[in-house]
Amino acid sequence: MSQSKNVVITGIGAVSPLGLDAPTTWAELVLGHSGIDFIKSFDSEGFETRFAAEVDGFNPEDYLDRKDARRMDRFAQFAVVAAQEACKQAGFDPKSMDQYRTGVIVGSGIGGIITLTQQQEVLSAKGPRRVTPFLIPMMLGDMASAQISMATGAMGVNFCVVSSCSSGADALGQGWEMIRRGQVDVVLAGGSEAPITPLAVAGFNSCRALSRFNEDPKRASRPFNRDRDGFVMGEGSAILVLESEEHAKQRGATPLARLQGYGATSDAYHLTEPGPTGQSAATAVLMALKAAGVDPSEIDYLNAHGTSTPMNDRQETKALKLALGEEAYRVPISSTKSMTGHLLGAGGALEAAICVMAIQDGIMPPTANLVDPDPECDLDYTPLKARQQEINVCVSDSFGFGGHNSVLVFTKPDWEH
């Protein structure tokens, strides 16, 4: 068997509650600003939770042909726009290469729920003949990856990963594996989500997952804080250009970071609760570190899953202690969900992009709203203020409903164009 190929990231794109591109998102994160506010997309009167992390000011027709945009659910629009940004930064056009050697893998936990719920209302009010013929191709979870393929000309492997809040991280992990074994040269990988609908908010409220801190939305997402009461739903997309180091060098691309390792496990325990021991999540961390050839002592920064739910933050802390031992107390950690909200299936992809930008700029974004730490969450969670420090090794955790645990390891590249 031939030696596995190294994988580098040459482009990132993002549409987030903090900005319509990756640089704006990063700048706002570093300043500790929040993208969480009262819901504008529907009347939330009577809901237990009346706020979310919405993408503000996004007009798909600023980026896409009007006809094409109208045939995409919002989650697919986000994905295409993020992919275009990533390809532009990477200086990469699949049509100028062997198109079958570029794949697209995009995770989404919810898919086209906006289109689905809107057309259910049309069916109820006007009858079956008035339902749009685009209902099915707009609501399917794979339509973000399909639309990216059509927009860019990428004709290699193309599919959607669905693993709840680990979806985006798993998409990157699968892309990494395919490049390493030589199946493709390049993968446009990440996640996209647009779940802020009455049905989704009501559903997450019913399972007691969302924060209900309506008094001050910007303080609602408070990971690792003693009084945290749930996550804040967010929307957006992040897409990364992954390619083999050899391919990137051949075309003169500039590497932003290496994707060095990936590990994934399942708790096999509960629909929504993390495993009680933290061992399965810890094993995913150790698997990713082993794949990367990285020791816990070498980790410079860890971007936590850190949802702000009482149980998740406590169990993640436990898992990190199991995985890293005494090094867990040394490693600077933060949860950027304190500012972006939780992008569900796109969360791991956005946080991967954040890890790349952290490596690039040598800055660890803060955990906002961490003013009264939970005694059981006693690691260095970088409260309130970003820190400057050289980052050579960065880890990102993603954990999802159903017991999915997915971990990525990023490193600083050792060559530049």
Q: Is 165 a catalytic residue?
A: yes
What CA–CA distances, in Å, run from 40 to 1, 4, 270? Answer: 54, 48, 33
| Spatial CA neighbour of 44 closest among 178, 256, 212 | 212
- Interacting residues of 260 by C-beta distance below 8 A, sequence separation 6+: 7, 291, 292, 293, 294, 393, 409, 410, 411
* Cα dihedral 202→205→207→209 (10° resolution): 140
Please, are residues 106 and 114 in contact by the beta-carbon 8 Å criterion?
Answer: no
Cα angle, residue 237 at apex, residues 263 and 52 outer, rounded to 5°: 105
Query: Which of these is catalytic: 87, 165, 355, 377?
Result: 165
| Spatial CA neighbour of 201 closest among 186, 211, 188 | 211
Q: Is 342 a catalytic residue?
A: yes
Query: Which of these is catalytic: 305, 355, 394, 404?
Result: 305
Burial class (CB in 10 A: 0-12, 13-18, 19+), 332: middle
Query: Which of these is catalytic: 87, 160, 247, 342?
Result: 342
Strand 301-303 versus strand 333-334 pairing type = parallel
Q: Is 417 a catalytic residue?
A: no
Cα angle, residue 85 at apex, residues 389 and 255 outer, rounded to 5°: 45
Q: Cα–Cα distance between 154 and 104 in angstroms, integer?
A: 7
Q: Cα–Cα distance between 110 and 234 in angstroms, integer?
A: 12
Please, are residues 7 and 243 in contact by the beta-carbon 8 Å criterion?
Answer: yes
- 8-state DSSP, 16: B
The residues carrying an active-site annotation are 165, 305, 342
